């Protein structure tokens, strides 16, 4: 029997890596965790947490304006960027210290530095080599910026939370949830914001109605939307601003170009060439149902395997992996019915199938929709529309998809996700009493199927 320095060596101290390391250590395994940056990974440092805090900040300008309709008279309102930035950074530092304490208190050895896999059971960090019976790769993802002339002048979502000055003008490139969230944040903080996306409509893969209504609502909030368009070049001017040339030939001066064009698996310099680990074309690590790579001693979890890039998924994969390594019984991660949210302005939340997916899977799909102005908007004089949609398999009466655009969408869909996981039928929704007056009650009062034809713009 070989003797190793560790039973488990985890590379990456993000959500999934920390969860796997803690669980393994608490169950008696000798565990090491290597991290080159701040603990907590993308979510804590440049993802979920700062984005949500910034999204809160972006909502205040509208809230101050709406307050007048409720009788409030406010003195001069001014936004201080450095206060938001520094307070957010302080919260991130607090969270990273919590992560550190959780790891150390669980018995893990924390190794700070860049880890490189040098063999099936060997990892080097700096000048030190470590042996491990098993290795877990949990290195997450890294922003992708296309090869455009002047790309060195652009920033990514990793950079926006620590800018010295927040831009007065910004061009954001991308059509995924990160692009939408950052566009909403920028516009809410007073930036003249243009969102550029090469496709016909952003949020590809989301329900078609959600995509269309979100575009309408974002336009109402002043975000300039350019679809079917890209950037050809970025040129820095003498005064520090950027001259952007678009694919349609137009040009625009801006203070900031931010690429939110996806995140690729973070595998550069990891040493995978020293192993039998296989990768997909985009670098994602290939794993089996046990999250094991083609190198039997090496496993991978989280964004680096590019299945579903969500923090709760990485956490679940970490727990599944440890149970498997210890021979414990337990459920595998179920990638169906995963609820998700886009903290855009307005917010989006969804669980289950889109209408297009439902029609491919079921012979007869009944669609229920509702669009209305929420009660809060009435005195405030706002024109924001809340949209809700349920998809039902007619044969079984089971609800197979729920989608929402509007305030508190994520909070509402989280509860509905439980119902869908439990196999709730439309009859269950219909016989559930609503909480009145709320927007959420609309989900249990939808009675009339939509007769609108389904049209898709997906290629």
Question: Catalytic residue positions?
Answer: 436
SS3 12: coil
Show contacts of 232-235: CB within 8 Å, 24+ apart.
232/148, 232/149, 233/148, 233/149, 233/150, 234/148, 234/149, 234/150, 234/151, 234/153, 234/154, 235/150, 235/153
Distance, CA of 19 to CA of 265 (rounded, Å): 19
Peptide bond into 348 cis (omega under 30): no
Encoded tokens for 431 = 């016989």
Which has the closest alpha carbon to 241: 262, 257, 225, 265?
Answer: 257
Distance, CA of 309 to CA of 262 (rounded, Å): 11
In the 3-class helix/strand/coil scheme, how is 81-138 assigned residue by residue?
A: HHHHHHHHHHHHHHHHHHHHHHHHHCCCEEEECCEEEEECCEEEECCEEEEEEEEEEC
Cβ contact 345:221 at 8 Å? yes
Encoded tokens for 34 = 């290597």
Region of 51 please: left (phi>0), alpha (psi -120 to 50) or beta: alpha
Distance in Å from the first CA to the final CA of the chain: 56
Neighbouring residues of 11: CB distance < 8 A, sequence distance ≥ 6 = 17, 34, 115, 117, 123, 135, 136, 137, 138, 139, 270
Distance, CA of 446 to CA of 432 (rounded, Å): 11
């Amino acid at each position: 029997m070989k003797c190793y320095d560790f039973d488990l060596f985890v590379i990456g101290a993000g959500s999934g890596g920390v969860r796997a390391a803690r669980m393994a250590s608490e169950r008696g395994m000798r565990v090491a965790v290597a991290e080159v940056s701040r603990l907590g990974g993308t979510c804590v440092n440049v993802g979920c947490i700062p984005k949500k805090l910034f999204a809160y900040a972006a909502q205040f300008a509208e809230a101050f304006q709406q307050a007048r309709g409720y009788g409030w008279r406010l003195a001069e309102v001014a936004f201080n960027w450095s206060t938001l930035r520094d307070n957010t950074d302080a919260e991130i530092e607090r969270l990273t210290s919590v992560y550190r304490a959780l790891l150390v208190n669980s018995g893990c050895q924390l190794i700070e530095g860049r880890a490189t896999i040098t063999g099936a059971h060997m990892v080097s960090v700096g000048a030190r080599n470590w042996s491990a019976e098993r290795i877990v790769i949990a290195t997450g993802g890294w922003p992708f910026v296309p090869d455009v002339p002047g790309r060195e002048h652009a920033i990514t979502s990793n950079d926006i939370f620590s800018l010295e000055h927040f831009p007065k003008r910004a061009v954001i490139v991308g059509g995924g949830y990160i692009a939408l969230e950052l566009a909403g944040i920028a516009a809410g903080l007073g930036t003249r914001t243009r969102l550029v996306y090469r496709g016909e409509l952003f949020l590809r893969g989301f329900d078609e109605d959600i995509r269309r209504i979100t575009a309408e609502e974002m336009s109402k909030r002043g975000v300039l939307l350019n679809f079917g368009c890209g950037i050809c070049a970025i040129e820095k001017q003498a005064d520090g601003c950027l001259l952007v040339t678009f694919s349609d030939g137009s040009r625009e001066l801006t203070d900031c170009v931010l690429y939110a064009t996806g995140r690729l698996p973070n595998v550069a310099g990891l040493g995978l060439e020293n192993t039998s680990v296989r990768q997909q074309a985009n670098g994602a690590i290939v794993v089996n149902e046990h999250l094991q790579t083609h190198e039997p001693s090496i496993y991978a979890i989280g964004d680096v395997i590019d299945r579903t890039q969500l923090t709760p998924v990485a956490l679940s994969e970490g727990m599944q992996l440890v149970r498997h390594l210890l021979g414990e019984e337990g459920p595998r991660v179920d990638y169906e019915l995963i609820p998700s949210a886009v903290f855009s302005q307005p917010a989006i939340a969804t669980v289950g199938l889109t209408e297009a997916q439902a029609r491919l899977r079921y012979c007869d799909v009944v669609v229920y929709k509702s669009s209305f102005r929420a009660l809060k908007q009435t005195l405030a004089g706002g024109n924001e529309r809340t949209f809700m949609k349920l998809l039902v398999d007619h044969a079984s009466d089971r609800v197979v998809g729920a989608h929402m655009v509007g305030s508190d969408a994520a909070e509402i869909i989280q509860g509905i996700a439980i119902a869908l996981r439990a196999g709730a039928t439309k009859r269950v929704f219909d016989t559930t009493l609503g909480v009145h007056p709320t927007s959420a009650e609309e989900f249990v009062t939808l009675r009339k199927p939509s007769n609108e034809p389904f049209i898709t713009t997906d290629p």
